[in-house]
Structure 1
Amino acid sequence: MKVIHRGFALAFGLVPFSLAGQAWAQTNADNDIQPVGQRPPPTEEAPEIQAIPDIGGVLTPKGRLVIEPEFQYSHASVNRLTFRGVEILSTLQIGVLAAEDIDRDTFTAAVTGRLGVTDRLEMELRLPYLYRDDTANFSVNEANEPFDLERSQSGDGLGDIELAAHYQMNSGRNGGPFFVGNLRYKSTTGEGPFDVDRDSNGIEKELPTGSGFHSIEPSVTMLLPSAPAVYFANLGYLFNLKDDINENVGDVRVKEVDPGDAVRLSLGMSYSINPKSSFTLGYKNDFIQETDTTFVNPDTGNSITQSSRSLNVGSMLLGWSYQMSNDSVFNLGLEFGVTEDAPDTTLTLRTPIGLNVF
C-alpha cells in the first residue's frame, strides 16, 4: 500500500491542509489511487504565534491554566553631540559643545498566568520584576575649558502588574482569517518617575521600575493560516491616563502630566519548520504622541504647559519556537531597533507550561 502524507503539521495547532488526514492506497486493477478514510473536520482554533509575545493566537482551552516564566533583556544607547551658541564659520564656534554617551540596560523577570474561562475567552495576569542600570558620560567644552562627568544609576523592584482579556470573535471557517479581540490594563504597582527620591537639583537618586500612569490598550489581532505559514497583524491604541502630580522637581513644581497615547501596529509571518519547530519574522511600530506637562511658576503662580516631541519606535521581530512536550514550549524572541527612538536590542526567553485545573 502506498501512503502519502503531508510530512508535518503546523506548530500552531492547525490541522494539516490539502491531503491532511487521508491515507491513499492503490486498490484496483488500474492502479488508480483511492482514498481510505476522510480528513477530520476543520478546526475552529486560531493558530498561535508562539515565538513573539503580545501578538495573540490560540486561546487557552476551557479549564486549562498556562504558567509562563519569562526573562527579558533590553539595551538602548544614546550618542549625541550638541552645540549651543553661535557658529560663525564651520571651524569657528562660540558657545558650549556637549557630547553625551548614555547606555541603558533593563533586566525583567516575569511570570504570566493564562486561564481558559471558555473555549473563546482567556484571562491573563502578568507579574514583572525589573532591574535597571543606566550609565551616562558627558563631555562639555565651554570657553575652551573642557570637563567630563560620569553618572551611574540603578533601580530594582516590582514592575507594573498587567491584566488582560482575549476573545476569539469568529471561527475562521473555509480558510478565512481569525480575529481575536484583546483588552489590556497596566497598573501603577511599579515605582514611577515621580515616586523615586531626588536630590536638591531634581536628579533621580534611583531609577523607576514603572511608568507611574495607568494605561488601557484595546487591540485586534488577525491571523491568516496558509500552510505551512501563518500571517499575522495586530492593531491597537494605547490610552495613557493623565494624572495630577503636584510634586517639586528641583526648583520647579510639576502640577499635571498627560502622557502621550500611542498607535501600535505589528505584522509578520510565522513558518512551521517541522512538527516541533517554527520561526517568526515580523515588524512592529509604536507611534507615540507628545507628552504634555504642566508646571507652576514658583514666582508668579502661573501654570505653563510644555509638550515633548513625538516618538517613532520601530523594531524588526525575529522569533524561534520549539515544542519540548505536549505541555511545554521554549520560545526565543529578538527585537532589533530600526528607528532612532527604539531600543537597540531586546532578547526575550519564555517557557509556557500548561496544566488542566477544571
Structure 2
Amino acid sequence: MDTVKPAKRNTLLPRTYRLRVPLVAVSFLLPGLASAQEGNGDEVVREARPSQSVENVLREEHALFSDRLTIEPGINYSYSDRSQLALRGFLALDAIFLGELNVDSVESHITTMDLNVRYGLTERLELGLNVPFVYRTTTYQSIGDEFSTERNSETDVDNADLGDVSVNMSYHLFPETETRPDVVLDMGVRAPTGRDPYGIELRENPNTNLNVPKELPTGNGVWGITAGVSALKTLDPAIVFGNLGYTYNLEESFGDISATTGPQPGDVKLGDTIRAGFGTAFALNKRLSLSLSYSHEYIRKSETTQQGVTNKVVGSDANVGVFNIGGTYALSDSTSMVTSLGIGLTEDASDISLTFRMPFQL
C-alpha cells in the first residue's frame, strides 16, 4: 500500500482542514474545487473550503468568486482639515512682514452609505454593483467678520444626495500555485449620477468677506473607466496582496463650469488616476483576521476648455497616500463584520477614514 507523508500544518485553515501542501494554495482561492484520489481510487478526499476568516480577506482585498450572492451594506466616515495662511500686509526689506497673519481653514466631514452587490457567474467571472449615498458637511472659517481683521467668521454648508454609481467585473486570470500568485483582472465603469461640482454658485454672507458655495457636490460629473490587476499569495501563516490600477475620465460638456454669475459653458477633462497598493493579512483563527496595507493614488491635473482655449487647473493634481488597518470577524457562515481605519499620510489625503461593512451571503 502506498504511504502518504503527513502535510505541513497550515495555520490559516482550521485543524480539521489540514491537507497536502500542493492542494492548500488552490483551496484558498477556489473552494469546493475538484477532488483528489489517493491509492487505488477506493478512497476520495475532497478539498475543504477555506476558513471564514480567509474568505473575508479574499472578499475585501481580492475577489472571492463565490457562486453565492453577496449583499454588503457599508458606511464610511472621513474627516479632513485644511488651513491656508493669509497674509494681509507687505514685506519690508524683503524680510520683515508688517501687517496681519491669519489662517483660513476648511473642515470637511463626509459620510458615505453604500450598498455593494456581488455575484459569481462562473468560477472565473464575478460581477459587482456599488450604489452610494453621500452626506457632506463643510465648515468654512476666515478672518473678516463684520469686515474686521480681528474677528473670525464661520459658515456651515451641508448636502445629501446620491453619489456616483459604478459597476465592475472581475476575471480570474491565473490560479495560485506554489510559485505563482493568484491573479485577477478588474474592469469597471462609473456613471455620473451624483451632483457634479461645476457651476455651483457662491453664497454671499452679510457683514463678512466669507463667500461659500450654496451646495456641495456628491459626484464628479463625468464618466470614468477603470482597469486594474490584483495579485494574492498565501505564505503560511500570512496572505500578501497587491494591486495596480488606472482610471480614465471622459471629457464632458457642461452649461456652466464657473461659480461666477451667469452661465459660462465649457468642457471639463478631469485628471486621470493612477493607483497602487500592497499589504498583508493574518487569519488568527477560523473567524478572525487582521490586515495592514498601504494605498496610494496620483491624480493628474484637470483641464477646462472654453471658447476653444484649453487651460490646466492649477492645484488640481494630488497625491493621496493612506495607511490602512483592518479587521474582519465572521459572525456566522454567511455573515461577517468588517472594519477598517485609514490614516492619511499625505496632505491631499483625508486625515482619518473609518469604515464599517457587513457582507451577507445568500
TM bucket normalised to smaller: 0.7 to 0.9
Deviation readout 1:152-201 (Å, 9 max, x if unpaired): 10000111111000011012233420100001111111111126565589
Size of the alignment, in residue pairs? 329
Question: Which amino acid is 1:234 matched to?
Answer: N
Change in 2 beyond 3 A, CA 1:304/1:160? closer
The question of whether the paired residues in 1 share the 8 Å contact of 2:283 and 2:289 is answered with yes
Question: Which amino acid is 1:56 matched to?
Answer: H
Change in 2 beyond 3 A, CA 1:328/1:144? closer
* Distance in 1 between residues matched to 2:186 and 2:193, nearest whole Å: 22
Q: 1:249 aligns with which of 259, 262, 268?
A: 259
How far the C-alpha of 1:10 sits from its partner, in A, is 4.2
Deviation readout 1:257-281 (Å, 9 max, x if unpaired): 1111011001010111111111000
Q: Which residue of 1 aligns with 2:175?
A: 171
* Distance in 2 between residues matched to 1:85 and 1:52, nearest whole Å: 57
2:121 is the counterpart of 1:112: no
The question of whether the paired residues in 2 share the 8 Å contact of 1:127 and 1:159 is answered with yes
> What residue ranges of structure 2 are gaps of 5+ in the alignment?
1-5, 25-38, 206-210
* Distance in 1 between residues matched to 2:65 and 2:156, nearest whole Å: 43
How far the C-alpha of 1:18 sits from its partner, in A, is 4.7
Q: Which residue of 2 aligns with 1:341?
A: 348
Q: Which residue of 2 aligns with 1:149?
A: 153
SS at match of 1:169: strand
Question: Which amino acid is 2:142 matched to?
Answer: F
The question of whether the paired residues in 1 share the 8 Å contact of 2:157 and 2:216 is answered with yes
Q: 1:214 aligns with which of 211, 215, 223?
A: 223
The question of whether the paired residues in 2 share the 8 Å contact of 1:292 and 1:308 is answered with no
How far the C-alpha of 1:55 sits from its partner, in A, is 3.5
Change in 2 beyond 3 A, CA 1:118/1:341? same
* Distance in 2 between residues matched to 1:223 and 1:154, nearest whole Å: 40
Higher strand residue share: 1
2:290 is the counterpart of 1:279: yes
Deviation readout 1:136-160 (Å, 9 max, x if unpaired): 111259x994442212100001111
Q: Which residue of 2 aligns with 1:25?
A: none
Higher helix residue share: 2
Deviation readout 1:77-105 (Å, 9 max, x if unpaired): 11221336642258732567441121100
The question of whether the paired residues in 2 share the 8 Å contact of 1:6 and 1:19 is answered with no
The question of whether the paired residues in 1 share the 8 Å contact of 2:140 and 2:212 is answered with no
Change in 2 beyond 3 A, CA 1:43/1:67? closer
Change in 2 beyond 3 A, CA 1:257/1:4? closer
Question: Which amino acid is 2:334 matched to?
Answer: D
- Quote the sequence identity (%): 27
SS at match of 1:50: helix
Pairing of 1:1-358 with structure 2 (within 5 A): 6=9, 8-10=11-13, 18=21, 50=56, 55-61=61-67, 64-83=68-87, 86-88=90-92, 92-94=96-98, 97-139=101-143, 145-194=149-198, 198-199=202-203, 203-247=212-256, 248-251=258-261, 253-295=264-306, 303=309, 305-309=311-315, 310-355=317-362
* Distance in 2 between residues matched to 1:68 and 1:193, nearest whole Å: 28
The question of whether the paired residues in 2 share the 8 Å contact of 1:51 and 1:319 is answered with no
Question: Which amino acid is 1:334 matched to?
Answer: L
| Larger deviation, residues 304-313 vs 221-230 | 304-313
